[in-house]
Amino acid sequence: MTRLSVNLNKIALLRNSRGSNYPDLIQVAKDCERFGAQGITVHPRQDERHCKFADLPLLKEACTTEFNIEGFPDRHFLDAVIKVKPHQCTLVPDDPNQLTSDHGWDTIAKKEFLTEIISELKKNGIRVSLFIDADTKLIEGAAKVGADRIEYYTGPYAKNFPANPEAAVKEIKESCAVAVQAGLGINAGHDLNLENLKYLKDNLAQLDEVSIGHALICDAVYLGLENTIRLYLNKLV
């Protein structure tokens, strides 16, 4: 089964734009789960432009499925994650000023850095996933530094999908076999939507979880949140 984790950063961004608690991020998380989502994801950045670090313990308390926190592992982020103890922490190599995540880890160049951080998180009972590109050497590196899972950066797949779905999925499909053989769980996220999600799911030997936020929330503006979540879940059957 592939789990759908709804990324709520866009809801938090909307809330923050008016300096109030509307929409209520915690209530939206509860509603997403009530509508069928099997996980909640947030990505608190250093500038707190969407999810705030103060949201994390409230979300952990509210979530009845799986709670996933994404982010760059500076000391402030790690301390917050260890205090909250989500089910999963997805490490991303973002620069503090980046608009959005647009590349995965170099698990070879950052081997010592990642090994130390992953060990600390796992000692605290937190499953660790690494945001990564579809490169077999980097995926093998993810296993060597102790990651439990990888999360494919699917931006290139989504960009190339309209013109040639088969070519778009080729690198992910081939490297996925390497990841499975290495004992890694498989997650995916970034620019996945109702048009390209099912094809990705059908072409991978294993897909444990997808984390989707931007497209899902955009679709919900027109289709409603409950209906949208059900449509995404149907693509993962």
Residues marked as catalytic: 43, 70, 190
- The Cα–Cα gap between 223 and 227 comes to 6
| End-to-end C-alpha distance for the chain, whole angstroms | 8
The amino acid present at 233, given as its one-letter code, is: L
Q: CB–CB of 89/126 below 8 Å?
A: yes
The contacts of residue 125 (CB under 8 Å, 6+ apart) are: 85
Phi and psi, residue 79, nearest 5°:
-60, -40
Choose among 151, 139, 121: nearest CA to 182: 139
DSSP class of residue 46?
Answer: T
Q: Is there a cis peptide before residue 162, judged by omega within 30 degrees of 0?
A: no
